[in-house]
């Protein structure tokens, strides 16, 4: 089972929003560490109220679309959980799948969208746009 499938299953077991909120924070605590050198301006996601960094790695295999993996971090606990959720959804996928996939549908399914502040929702959109732009750039290269 993939990480995102496990996260979705765990969310579906939690009925109360407070429990989901705590689980999101727990996901952030378990986010793979981003090297300090990667907390750079180049990796900073614009449009987030909190500080968010995304590092993109592109793997190329002749004749196949590039596969992208992501590392990320934030200075806010709940946002770290959102970063982990977004990374689990997109990381390890070929660029065309990343471009076509919409994590916001998952946020609706998990009932996260209705519980996020407008600032956090905008931050998630900024992360998604950055990931999709990186996938487009990888396809163009």
The catalytic residue positions are: 48
What is the 3-class SS of the chain, one letter each residue?
A: CCHHHHHHHHHHHCCCHHHHHHHHHHHHHCCCCCCHHHCCCCCECCCCCCCEEEEEEEECCCCCCCEEEEEEEECCHHHHHHHHHHHHHHCCEEHHHHHHCCHHHHHHHCCCHHHCCHHHHHHHHHHHHHHHHHHHHHHHC
- Round to whole Å and give the CA distance between 127 and 90: 11
* Alpha carbons 30 and 132: distance in angstroms, whole number: 24
């Amino acid at each position: 089972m993939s990480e995102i499938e496990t996260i979705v299953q765990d969310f579906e077991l939690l009925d109360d929003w407070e429990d989901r909120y705590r689980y999101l924070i727990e996901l952030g605590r378990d986010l793979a560490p981003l090297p300090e050198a990667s907390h750079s301006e180049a990796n900073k996601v614009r449009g987030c109220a909190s500080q968010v960094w995304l590092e993109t790695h592109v793997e190329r295999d002749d004749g196949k679309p590039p596969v992208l993996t992501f590392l990320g971090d934030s200075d806010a606990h709940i946002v770290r959980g959102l970063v982990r959720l977004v990374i689990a959804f997109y990381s390890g996928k070929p660029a065309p799948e990343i471009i076509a996939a919409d994590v916001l549908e998952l946020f609706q399914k998990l009932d996260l969208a209705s519980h996020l502040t407008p600032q956090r929702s905008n931050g998630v959109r900024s992360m998604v746009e950055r990931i999709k732009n990186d996938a487009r750039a990888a396809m163009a290269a």
